[in-house]
Amino acid sequence: MPGPGGARSPRYLTIAATLRDRILARELAPHDPLPSERELGEQFGVSRMTARQAITVLESEGHVCRRPPRGTFVAEPRVRFRIGSFTEEANRLGRRPRAELLWAAETEPDPDTRAALDLHDGATVHAFRRLRLMEDEPIAIETTYFAAAATPGILDKADEGSLWTLVTELYGTELHHSDAVLESIVLDEKSCALLHIRAGSPGIMLTRRTYDAAGACVEYARDVYRADRAAFEVTASLTS
């Protein structure tokens, strides 16, 4: 497959692209076994090392998963999220959400959090870090901040459900909309351990702001998702 300027792509990328197309076309369905490295080598006329590189590409993209010693299998499709509450999105998709609280504290905000929540110098935030699971599979690590002055007592009431629901019920806050920036990242060893994936795996960093009906930012969050299990749907208005 020619690349920019007519240069040919490495063979392992061509093989990965061919297999990816077959997976996306459902010629290979979830849980189907992938051909072995030896079989791929024979099929494409390459070494087992080249075949292994192609499989590694597909694994990093989340299209396949290795299950030693059984082999490599086509992975389940990524969960397609919309920007918003993890709990609400899981319920919309018919999946069972769960949260494990990793820590919660009142703390000083970093500059980005202070600016997002429009806090004065000396103001503190209530911060939560939670592991989010869907059908008991770890999907994301959420770090969420609220202005401490606006959320008294919330540290004692965080449960396994939606923090949005909690804020609405406790303080009568009417949440209106969220916006977010998505970035590709490489996950650190601790995050990978929590998410049950290999160290150095790719992730998606979602930096999110949630606003009330008056347009004030009431929540600032940095959420880290497994890139192999999550995708995001984005809708844009085309009206001027």
State the pLDDT at residue 160: 60
State the pLDDT at residue 60: 82
Do 93 and 110 belong to one domain?
Answer: yes
Task: Establish if 239 belongs to a structural domain.
Answer: no
At 35-74, the pLDDT tens digits run: 999 999 999 999 999 999 999 999 888 889 888 888 899 9
Do 38 and 62 belong to one domain?
Answer: yes
Task: Establish if 152 belongs to a structural domain.
Answer: yes
Phi/psi for 21 (5° steps) reads: -60, -40
Number of domains the chain is built from:
2
State the pLDDT at residue 77: 83
Do 228 and 120 belong to one domain?
Answer: yes
Distance CA 141, CA 126 (A): 17
pLDDT above 60: residue 5: no
Do 108 and 138 belong to one domain?
Answer: yes
At 93-144, the pLDDT tens digits run: 888 889 999 999 999 999 999 999 999 999 999 999 999 999 889 999 999 9
pLDDT above 80: residue 239: no
Task: Establish if 26 belongs to a structural domain.
Answer: yes
State the pLDDT at residue 61: 83
Do 65 and 110 belong to one domain?
Answer: no
Task: Establish if 238 belongs to a structural domain.
Answer: no
Model confidence band, residue 216 (pLDDT cutoffs 50, 70, 90): very high
Chain length of the chain? 240
Count the helix, strand and coil residues of the chain and give each as a percent rounded to the nearest 5.
30, 35, 35
Q: Residue 166 belongs to what H/E stretch? A: helix 163-171
Do 109 and 204 belong to one domain?
Answer: yes
Model confidence band, residue 6 (pLDDT cutoffs 50, 70, 90): low
Do 216 and 123 belong to one domain?
Answer: yes
Give Cα 55 to chain centroid, integer Å: 22
